[in-house]
Structure 1
Amino acid sequence: MLRWWLLVTLAESIGFLAPAAVGVAVALPHPELSLVSLGAAGVVEGAVLGFAQARVLKRRLPGLSVPGWTVRTAVAAPVAWLIGMSAGQYAEVWLAWPAAVQFLAGVAAALLLLCSLGLAQWPELRRHIPRSGWWIPGSAAAWCGGLAVFFAVAPPLWEAGQPPAVALGIGTGAGILMAATAALISGLVMARLLHVRPAGVPAGTAD
């Protein structure tokens, strides 16, 4: 799945420019607008990513709906952004909860964030390959790896008072590394799913 890795890395790197730019231009100077602005930027990121993924898959799964996959991804991406941003935006609320409730809510939010894209894409994928349910944890693992790389790189380099161009450059560079990591892991998962697809499986086969 070299084609997947290259195109998905490129698409996510380009798509991530939207939330990166919005984060520097809007969310940082106006935190009260972060949820709305980054959620909207997430639609752009998801659309670019979903279109690239669908175009690659179309070569192996001719019946796959490119518009359907793209729209599903574009809808799911802002959901992930909203979940992630809400943790910081409403910290004073959830930090007042009992420790056990905080833990359970945190686990649930993390799982939903990581699984959001895979869950949204799965109904389309299950029409074409068996065992498609594995795409949900596989996609989650890909984004877990990608986000881990991003947060290992960007936050230590960001400093208060940095010029916006520097902050944007750091975020963009970390975003490219995130994209490459997520594309690699998701590509391996997708290659495995396509490899086990029996010859002659009809388009309506469900998991």
Structure 2
Amino acid sequence: MTVDRQGAASAVRPHPDDRFLRYWLFWVSLGESVGFLAPALAQLAFGDAPVRVPALILAGALEGTVLGWTQATVLRSRIPALSRSRWVGATAIGASVAWFIGLLPAEWADVWQRWPAPAQLGVGLAAGVLLLTSIGIAQWTELKRHRRAAGWWIAGSAAAWCAGLAVFFAVATPLWQPGQSAAVVLLIGMLAGVLMAVGMALTSGLVLVGILRTKSPSQPV
């Protein structure tokens, strides 16, 4: 019986989508885990100091820079024409916007708590949507140059951050207790941050696999 070596080799060769998803999961999880150290350390360093808010926003931009670089590195394996600089810059801007919005409720609590309940709910929902979509919208400005279905990335990225943040708070909230040392608080935050990164990377990777299968805007319909 003749063995079809080429057929056997193709049977064990990983599918390009599977290979992409593995690389994306590893590198994006690593990038977000490392990048998240910037705001975590900024919070630890500045506490309630007046410069805390601008420091966290700048740290968020640094987080976005690291995350965007790892994302672009993997994406360029499937979209060689993708601009790393535009993708990284967009991610940094989107992340800083997300941090700015996320800090507003605590910083302006004495203002919005005086609003009527419907106004609080409406503004809160709008802010939540903008926070979750800020990075996806920023990155879409580059991705739309290369894939027709890039618009789905806005919703997919929001879903990915929703999943990641849910994991973060599910892990960190019960572990953080009053009276803990700064080192313990940081370690818990880092653990939750790593798990958040994995949840975000897995969800966003699954969305991207579908988007990458679509055609480039320059290709005929």
Is TM-score (shorter-chain normalized) higher than 0.5? yes
The whole-number CA distance in structure 1 between the counterparts of 2:136 and 2:48 is 32
Q: Does 1:66 align with 2:84?
A: yes
What is residue 154 of structure 1 aligned with on the other side? 172
| 1:23 counterpart letter in structure 2 | Q
Q: Does 1:91 align with 2:91?
A: no
What is residue 24 of structure 1 aligned with on the other side? 44
Q: Does 1:174 align with 2:196?
A: no
| 1:46 counterpart letter in structure 2 | G
| 2:182 counterpart letter in structure 1 | P
- Cα displacement (A) at 1:29: 4.3
SS of 1:149's partner is: helix
Deviations 1:82-111 (A, max 9, x none): 101111111111111111111110010000
Residue 159 and residue 33 in structure 1: after superposition, are their counterparts in 2 closer, same or farther (change >3 A)? farther
Q: Counterparts in 2 of 1:140-151, with a 5 A limit?
A: 140-151=158-169
The whole-number CA distance in structure 1 between the counterparts of 2:56 and 2:174 is 21
The answer to whether the 8 Å contact 1:22/1:41 transfers is: yes
| 2:172 counterpart letter in structure 1 | A
TM-score, reference length from structure 1: 0.93
In structure 2, stretches of 5+ residues that fail to align are: 1-20
SS of 1:60's partner is: coil
SS of 2:177's partner is: coil
The answer to whether the 8 Å contact 1:34/1:85 transfers is: no
- Cα displacement (A) at 1:160: 2.8
In structure 1, stretches of 5+ residues that fail to align are: none
Deviations 1:36-86 (A, max 9, x none): 111010011000000100110101001100011001101110110110111
The whole-number CA distance in structure 1 between the counterparts of 2:98 and 2:155 is 15
Identity of aligned residues (%): 51
What is residue 36 of structure 1 aligned with on the other side? 54
Q: Counterparts in 2 of 1:94-105, with a 5 A limit?
A: 94-105=112-123
The answer to whether the 8 Å contact 1:7/1:52 transfers is: yes
- Cα displacement (A) at 1:186: 0.2
The whole-number CA distance in structure 1 between the counterparts of 2:194 and 2:51 is 25
TM-score, reference length from structure 2: 0.87
Q: Does 1:51 align with 2:37?
A: no
SS of 1:117's partner is: helix
Q: Does 1:2 align with 2:22?
A: yes
- Cα displacement (A) at 1:155: 2.4
SS of 1:131's partner is: helix
Root-mean-square deviation (CA, aligned residues, Å) is: 1.2
- Cα displacement (A) at 1:156: 2.1
Report the structure number with the largest CA radius of gyration. Answer: 2
User: Structure 1 runs of 4+ off > 3 angstroms?
Assistant: none
**Further displaced range: 47-56 or 157-166:** 157-166
The whole-number CA distance in structure 2 between the counterparts of 1:23 and 1:191 is 35
| 2:209 counterpart letter in structure 1 | A
